[in-house]
Structure 1
Amino acid sequence: MRNAALKHAQDRATPAVDAADALTHVELTWIEKKIEHWIRFGEPVAERILDRRHRIVSFRPGDIFAFVRWASNDFGTIASRIDVVRAVVPGEPYQTLPFVRPGGEILLRLDSWPKIQRALQAIDAVEAIELDPVDVAPDHWRHVHSRLTVGHEPRAYTRAQHDAWLLRRRAQP
């Protein structure tokens, strides 16, 4: 009897996930000046509003998105992070990430607001050359991660780089 009650409590605590659900789900929270999670770029294919402060957005396998998390208390910022993530195909290995189910391939991961601001500037620079950041070569986000992690300026993404990426992607089987 006790095991059945424990199993029932675990089932209620763990949201049911459809085995056929190939989407990557990101939980977003917005409590003004306390907890702010948002998507900087990426095209969710679904959105579920849980309440006025919480929602879940979902991405298809292979989609790339930027997830920003920030939190503060009475003394200032206590956590800030940006992750550029590629949603994975079911069965593909992935890295776990808070608020992202099941996880994804992390292309860029930065902590501290000064580094996040520089990453946001790199995203703005991509948009300035009229490209959608989701279409950028994943290697560029890895490059931005590596350079900013060690305090160096990342190289700008160019149209020529993008054209080369598109040719390389077409040539892959």
Structure 2
Amino acid sequence: MRADARRNRERILQHAASVLSSAGPGASMEEIAQAVGVGIGTLYRHFPDKTALVDAVGAHTLDEFAGVIAALIDQPSPGGDVIALLNRYLERAATDAALRFALSAAPREEASLVHTALDASADDLQRLIARDIERGLLRADVDAAAFRAVCAAIVLSMDAPLPEGSWRAVAEVVREGLRPSRPGLR
């Protein structure tokens, strides 16, 4: 891809994320093209439909989180890397409707950009999990798939018809459930 096309694509992704975050899933391709300042044809050259655009927005954000995971590998969090990652992810998702929308609307095929981004960070995520288990900060039966399922479940509670912020209570229960059992407790 040419450098100018790559810059255009990056700009489109940033603006699309912003539009989807504020307007939600109802945002049209025309609204996104207008926000980016490109013609609708340019938008469609990069993304054949809204599903492809949403998939790319989600993958772009997950690529950012791969950087967060790498930083945690280099500088462990005293309270646990997995809990720190969960907290950062949830705080981002709570304020980023584009991320929530992208993950919920992303194609389910293994070839989607979201799945590719998840796969790319899976080994590093598993390293964080193994390190926290070894440090006694995380249950021994947690793995990358379980962590992702937990994240998805909490994110779903953010858009449910529940009182605003109730996802925080769900997250606290999940955080407690991720910790190893303490003697005398079941």
Q: Greater strand share, 1 or 2?
A: 1
After TM superposition, the score normalised by the length of structure 1 is 0.28
After TM superposition, the score normalised by the length of structure 2 is 0.27
